[in-house]
Structure 1
Amino acid sequence: MTRILADGHGFLKGMIIFDAINLNTMNKELEKLAPSKRSAAKNIYASFQILKDAGGELPGKQVIEKIRDIEDLTEWEKQIYEKTGYVRWESILHFYTIDCIKAGFLRKNKGIWYLTEEGEKAISLGPVKLLETASQLYKHWAANNKGKQANDSEVVIELEENKTQTQKANLDLLEDQATAGIKDFIRNKNPYEFQDMVAALLRAMDYHTPFVSPKGKDGGLDIIAYNDPLGATTPRLKVQVKHRPDSSVPVDDIRSLTGLLNKDGDVGLFITSGQFTSESIRTARESHRHIRLLDIDEFIELWQEFYIKMTDEDKNRLPLHSIYFLGSNE
């Protein structure tokens, strides 16, 4: 037996008692659901487990790939919607993750999915109860934000019938695909091409880049950037670039950059096509020198922000195309 307490905003407050559901019981409960909800329940549950095993966060693309590998997807789930070209089970999953986000179980940012503490606790509910709870909490959220009483028909409607939530799910799916495509493009660049992209971004931010390291030894620095052509005004950026899309920058690399900041007004900037270890982040934050770390997600965000200010030559290093979709007031 499980009792859920939710506040006025529909977020999970606590789980009091839970008796574990064995696999046979879970399967029987899933069989009672309509196909869309059955697919949602098992795949939402699988995604939460995947995120938990990964330490609480993963790119949405990787979550999808792992579900595809471990789940026994039916032919019905693998069918493609004619109107959108999306795979049915993926659309259903994105549709119901909106319930999980509003329930406080899940967060998404720049294509990364994050399992919250409440979401990790909710895994113990099992697939069916997890989905039901997320939907109920979403109903509470919708009622409070729309100023009206939600009724049973508003709890969770079939995917094809709820146009607003379907639109949000499709936009979410498109954003994940766009971010994944940009990251794949960057991953396929060599280190010097990525270094040139970093220099292009700095120029778009109105920095001058008199030094961009050629191939060979660079003395530990890849780029030096100034506020003015002569480098007479501060800050002066000393930039280290690492093209490591599938790994995290260790703390020793951050310490090496710190040792090169030997003049007043020097600012260290470390940019990677991957991520930073938690120790690296802590060391940069606590350093007596000013060091700014920029991971792949922040790099892409800045590239998008300053793209319009780039020269055509620099834009071609990572070309983008903007498309505007109808949004939502929620």
Structure 2
Amino acid sequence: MANMSKERVTEYLRAIILILHENGGSLSAKKVIEELEARLKPNTVEKYEYKGGGVRWIKVMQFSSIGLVKAGWLRKKKGVWYITEEGEMSLTLEPDVFRQTIDEKYRQWAQSRNLSVVEGEDLVEEAAADEFQSRNFEQAQNDALEEIKNHIRKLDPYEFQDLVAALFRGMGYYTPFIAPKGPDGGIDVVAYKDPIGAESPRIRIQVKHRPDSKIGRPDVQALSGSLHRDGYIGIIVSSGGFTPDAISEIRTSGKHMEKMDLDSFIELWEQHYEKMTDEDKQLLPLRAISFLAPQE
């Protein structure tokens, strides 16, 4: 059976960068794979399943993405993939230059680990043992992240709103206002650096808990309209993510606004977890475990 061509692998790698670009710069590895499958429609050859487990195109893509990381275009952290500024710029490169850059970075990485420099599908077989630990590590991160996400998705909107307020308290903010059930005027949580809001920044937070749908430009515009005084920052927290139009509106708005999707929320929750009160921790209790990490 024929292997995947270098041109086809390059198509997958460029699509990874484009998908991350269109989703505001980050996305879970699981979602990236889903998007790749929907866009590039793997053929029969690419869907071949190895006897040892795993689908050809996914294994080739995951290993080939090492080149994206080594080129400084992609970062992987706890099951989430992030595009860098250099990665954004790589979208302007011609396919041949794009591939040559990745190949060179991969060669440097392989030589530093005393691996044979191989290409295409042979790359997967040659480096399978060396990469096994890395893939297991990433899979463990993905599984843990998905378990946390599934728990959050099952919360009702007010439970998720309380979770967001708890996060900001863990980050050192006071939350004098958390919207009660009913109309909230577009603001769900207000966060201050001091008890009375004398210091900047003063944050107005809009919480959207629609796990199966992304929020669009109108939601962003609604928050922007509430930021009519100096010293106020708007943050939109969306468990379902953001449409490209929403991301563009946030970036180009004359008001200071930031976005937080579910991946970002979980990362911040983990980062500030130990600073939270016991009561707030119980809203989303976590336990750290140790896992043998791959060598970089």
| TM-score using structure 1 length | 0.65
Q: Decide whether the 8 Å contact of 1:222 with 1:240 is kept in 2.
A: yes
RMSD: 4.2
Tell me by how many angstroms 1:196 deviates: 0.9
Q: SS at 1:288's partner residue?
A: coil
Tell me by how many angstroms 1:98 deviates: 4.8
Query: Which digits, 9 at most, give the CA deviation of each residue in 1:257-281, with x for residues without a partner?
Result: 1221233322222111122233333
Tell me by how many angstroms 1:56 deviates: 2.7
Structure 2, unpaired ranges of 5+: 21-26
Q: Decide whether the 8 Å contact of 1:270 with 1:293 is kept in 2.
A: yes
What is the rounded CA distance, in whole Å, between the counterparts of 2:123 and 2:255 in structure 1? 55
What is the rounded CA distance, in whole Å, between the counterparts of 2:94 and 2:241 in structure 1? 23
Query: Which digits, 9 at most, give the CA deviation of each residue in 1:115-157, with x for residues without a partner?
Result: 96499947xxxxxxx9xx97786234333xx2x9x67x45467
Q: Decide whether the 8 Å contact of 2:69 with 2:75 is kept in 1.
A: no
Letter aligned with residue 141 of structure 1: W
Q: Structure 1 119/327 Cα, relative in aligned 2: closer, same or farther at 3 Å?
A: farther
Q: Decide whether the 8 Å contact of 1:79 with 1:88 is kept in 2.
A: no
Match of 2:19 in 1: 56
Tell me by how many angstroms 1:213 deviates: 0.9
Q: Decide whether the 8 Å contact of 2:18 with 2:91 is kept in 1.
A: no
Match of 2:290 in 1: 324
1:313 aligned onto 2:279: yes
Query: Which digits, 9 at most, give the CA deviation of each residue in 1:13-52, with x for residues without a partner?
Result: xxxxxxxxxxxxxx4xx2xxxxxxx5xx49x958955984
Q: Structure 1 328/215 Cα, relative in aligned 2: closer, same or farther at 3 Å?
A: same
1:222 aligned onto 2:222: no
Letter aligned with residue 242 of structure 1: K
Share of identical aligned residues, percent?
A: 36
Match of 1:272 in 2: 238
Q: SS at 1:178's partner residue?
A: helix
1:174 aligned onto 2:143: no
1:293 aligned onto 2:266: no
Match of 1:235 in 2: 201
Q: How many equivalent residue pairs?
A: 274
What is the rounded CA distance, in whole Å, between the counterparts of 2:246 and 2:229 in structure 1? 22
Q: SS at 2:289's partner residue?
A: coil
Match of 2:50 in 1: 77
Q: Decide whether the 8 Å contact of 1:95 with 1:165 is kept in 2.
A: no
Q: Which has the larger radius of gyration?
A: 1
1:101 aligned onto 2:64: no
Q: Structure 1 207/49 Cα, relative in aligned 2: closer, same or farther at 3 Å?
A: same
Q: SS at 2:151's partner residue?
A: helix
Letter aligned with residue 272 of structure 1: S
Match of 1:111 in 2: 80
Letter aligned with residue 77 of structure 1: Y
Match of 1:249 in 2: 215
Letter aligned with residue 101 of structure 1: L
Q: Decide whether the 8 Å contact of 1:48 with 1:120 is kept in 2.
A: no
Q: Structure 1 285/46 Cα, relative in aligned 2: closer, same or farther at 3 Å?
A: closer
Q: SS at 1:297's partner residue?
A: helix
Q: Structure 1 276/196 Cα, relative in aligned 2: closer, same or farther at 3 Å?
A: same
Query: Which digits, 9 at most, give the CA deviation of each residue in 1:193-245, with x for residues without a partner?
Result: 11111001011011111211111111221011222222333322111111122
1:187 aligned onto 2:143: no
Does 1 or 2 have the higher relative contact order (CA < 8 Å, sep 6+)? 2
Q: Decide whether the 8 Å contact of 2:211 with 2:239 is kept in 1.
A: yes
Letter aligned with residue 29 of structure 2: G
Q: Structure 1 214/50 Cα, relative in aligned 2: closer, same or farther at 3 Å?
A: farther
What is the rounded CA distance, in whole Å, between the counterparts of 2:160 and 2:94 in structure 1? 37
Alignment equivalent of 1:303, drawn from 255, 269, 284: 269
Q: Decide whether the 8 Å contact of 1:202 with 1:209 is kept in 2.
A: yes
Q: Decide whether the 8 Å contact of 2:235 with 2:259 is kept in 1.
A: yes
What is the rounded CA distance, in whole Å, between the counterparts of 1:113 and 1:227 in structure 2? 29
What is the rounded CA distance, in whole Å, between the counterparts of 2:146 and 2:172 in structure 1? 28
What is the rounded CA distance, in whole Å, between the counterparts of 1:55 and 1:247 in structure 2? 20
Q: Structure 1 107/118 Cα, relative in aligned 2: closer, same or farther at 3 Å?
A: farther
Q: SS at 2:251's partner residue?
A: helix
| TM-score using structure 2 length | 0.71
Query: Which digits, 9 at most, give the CA deviation of each residue in 1:68-127, with x for residues without a partner?
Result: 9966666x73666xxxxxx586994576245453575984544348796499947xxxxx
